[in-house]
Structure 1
Amino acid sequence: MRRNAIILVIIVIAQFCCTSLWFASNAVIDAIANAFFLQDSAIGYLTSAVQFGFIIGTLVFAILTIADRFSPSKVFFICAAIGSFFNLLMVMESHSLQSLLLLRALTGFFLAGIYPVGMKIAADYFNKGLGLSLGFLVGALVVGTAFPHLLSDIVPSSQWRLVVYITSIVAIFGGLLMLAFVPNGPHRIASKGFDFKAFSKVFRNVPFRAAAFGYFGHMWELYTFWAFVPAILATYNNLNANAEFNIPLWSFIIIAVGGLACVIAGLVSKKIGVKTTAFKMLLLSGLCCMLSPLMFGLANPIVFIVFLIFWGFVVIADSPLFSTLIAQNANPHLKGTALTIVNCIGFSITIISILLLTTMSKFFDNTNIYSILAIGPLFGLWALRKKDNKLI
């Protein structure tokens, strides 16, 4: 038991370190835009490039069943090292938007060997209490994703390249931790070869399909909210003369609070059930989407920031719970592949959502556009409520 606790701590630290690559460009987007003469819409495109690369990566990993055929820790390390390299190339001079998009897409491709593979490693070690274990793991992902925003607040904007250097170094360290201290788990069942039907096989299972659909609804909202947190804060700053939010610092806090949310949701799920907890959190985040237009009219900045912190809490709290439901209802021989496939589709959905809001922000009042995110939670709630899904 003590050894497993140590293993979990190492996995969590490694996941935190490596997922800092995700928003490395978002945290310093203004400085990058100034350095390379990019337009304001660059944040949406650069974020979508990471998501697109991640989608292609998860598709390749799923088709080749890499996470089930090879040692997950070795896959994790190799992807962390290569992803760090492409992240680091952003510091080069004379980039265009196209070259930056390519680098972010390549970084996203190798994140496919980090996030879902990290969950696969946790599932190989923790059969019972998987919800809480994945709560810690996804919590690490959240804080790792927010970490570049904290760096951006500390580092002067003129030295934005330092943020890129640090995230790359931290990610390599995380990969080395996983390689050195986390061997194959006791519950790992290795796949013996290619399974080109794996993509269709996993969705024949009705409970698995219900969990996956709930996750897809959750993903419509999650990464778009995270990507637009700085824009939400900037919009409120412009509307309210009393608001002087430190955008990098508050962006970090609003996103990072989700790390605590994942752990708390994991603990709650042990008492009231994984499905019930996921349903309640998805419902609350959907309500935040619908209430968002009203919040911009608040005169009190404190109430507004509390609302965003609450939104940042509930928007991610259900993520480890959906991953738990997916892992528990997947074929044991295809567990890693199933997680990877669901991630692939889920992140495909985030691109549509991010680009939709990026386009809407050009033509509509920015205070009203975030209510469109409620579509995802509504779909997810419908999937979870279906009586024939047999999820517990």
Structure 2
Amino acid sequence: MSPSIKVATFNVSMEADNYRTEPEAVADPRALQRHLASGRHPQIRNIAEIIQRVRPDILLLNEFDYIADPKRGVLAFQRHYLQQGQGGAAPIHFPYHYLAPVNSGVPSPYDFDGDGVASGTGGDAWGFGRYPGQYGMVLLSRFPILQEQVRTFAKFPWHRLAAPQKITRADGRDFYDASTWRALRLSSKSHWDVPVQIGEHRLHLLAAHPTPPVFDGPEGRNGARNFDEIRLWAEYIDNAPYLVDDQDRQGGLPPNRRFVILGDYNASATEGRSRPGAIEQLLHHSRINAKWVPISQGGAAHSPDNPHGASHTASWRARVDYVLPSRWGLEVRDGGVFWPAPDSPLHPLVVNRRASSDHRLVWQTLKLTHGPEGNESGT
């Protein structure tokens, strides 16, 4: 009998900006580490309760600040929050995890934001961030992670993407000089291909968090980056031979591979300010099954006059968080957005960003079909 698994993504807003007591205060990069150690932070307890109530088998957390020591980071989150029952929900444990450095907040020697000063951080970091590791990612799994087969694309140069988006000034000149453009990395955080083993089946988890397509100038550099960060996955699942990962392995994902693209992509097909066609690169891709659109009663109630409200995944009224399975090897059985209706006793968990996050957990239940991956097309 083919197994079914529940795969989820959740932008948890667990980064230091969210823990400032005053808007003018400087974010403390160690804030998350302290709160994870205490086991008492109300926002993190609510996040843990949401996860306990949905009970995914695989979960990507976006905006979980990168903490290199798992004992102080992801394992502390598990020990002090997920493995403690929250709000009457049962504890949950993920035996396996994956984390790696991200580009956000890591200083560069370049003037990426074009203000004439190479400040090293903020808009001049390899990916926007006020300190290294801000807006990081963590993957949690009940199934073994094939660590030696993980591929990351944090350092892939943007200019190497086939036909990258143009970034020009009002007079038509290139926004970046040649040396800056050659140095600029495409991924604002990172792109991960994390394979997990589910019995005899293998599943590739394609995780990312593209930059918001705003907070730039008339040149639209962030809109261009968002579009091309999304396109990187479209090229990857097309097995583009020119792609080279951080481990110097070439090519993309061959045919007949199960995969799920998941994360906060900061792009909607119907709302927001992403470039036209950005998320459609995935939603309309021939290898992706995007027919199932997760919905919630809370989202519908939050935007009662919006026909797309039920599918929104962010409090600012857009669908930007995705769980997108491959057509091959997976069958969608169920799914949803954790956004309880206003009259639900669970609604306080999502009432605002301070309660949990400005995003909602999105999940799909997937049945694994066909035989083991190697039986069809090799390992």
TM-score calculated relative to the size of structure 2:
0.25
Q: Which of the two has greater strand per residue? A: 2
Query: Higher relative contact order by CA 8 Å / sep ≥ 6: 1 or 2?
Result: 1
Q: Which of the two has greater helix per residue? A: 1
